[in-house]
């Protein structure tokens, strides 16, 4: 067995206890559209850019163009003034949440300088990335309980 085969076999063995991400076997973390042709195109597109890095768009201007095109399309969906919308690619949900929390923190810092100890109020069911963002960005968290039946946040607690 050559090194390539050995590596791929070892990786395959590691996956033995994983759930199948296709067909609705995983209710979170994986979003299976069921569209196999779209999945093939996405895989090919991913492979075309696997060695690209968006840190410097002068090296890979194609990534800047893709980002601008996608942000513009999303802005058209969500705004009557799409030219006023800004956005960026992220590596996933956690980075997206951290950047959103940072944007609000920075906005408050500029427009509400009386806030010297920023806080974020979160339901107890909030994604862990909000807590991570608060920790990294020096923001205190206030956790509010949710109703055990409806899982809705307790608005009275939120108001407090």
pLDDT tens digits along 128-154: 999 999 999 999 999 999 988 999 998
pTM: 0.73
**How does pLDDT run across 87-135, given as a tens digit for each residue?**
888 888 899 999 999 999 999 999 999 999 999 999 999 999 999 999 9
CB 67 within 8 A of CB 88: yes
Question: What residues contact residue 108 under an 8 Å CB cut-off, 6+ apart?
Answer: 115, 118
Cα torsion 5, 7, 9, 11: sign: negative
Identify the burial level of 101 via C-beta atoms within 10 angstroms of its C-beta, where 0-12 means exposed, 13-18 middle and 19 or more buried: buried
């Amino acid at each position: 067995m050559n090194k390539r085969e050995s590596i791929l076999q070892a990786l395959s063995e590691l996956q033995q206890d994983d759930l199948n991400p296709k067909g609705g076997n995983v209710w979170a973390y994986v979003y299976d559209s069921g569209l196999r042709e779209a999945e093939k195109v996405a895989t090919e597109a991913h492979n075309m850019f696997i060695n690209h890095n968006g840190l410097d768009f002068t090296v890979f201007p194609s990534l800047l163009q893709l980002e601008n095109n996608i942000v513009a399309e999303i802005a058209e969906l969500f705004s009557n003034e799409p030219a006023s919308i800004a956005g960026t690619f992220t590596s996933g949900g956690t980075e997206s949440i951290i950047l959103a929390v940072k944007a609000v923190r920075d906005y408050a810092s500029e427009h509400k300088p009386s806030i010297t100890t920023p806080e974020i109020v979160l339901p107890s069911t909030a994604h862990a990335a909000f807590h991570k963002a608060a920790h990294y960005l020096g923001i205190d968290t206030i956790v509010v309980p949710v109703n055990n039946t409806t899982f809705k946040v307790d608005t009275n607690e939120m108001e407090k």
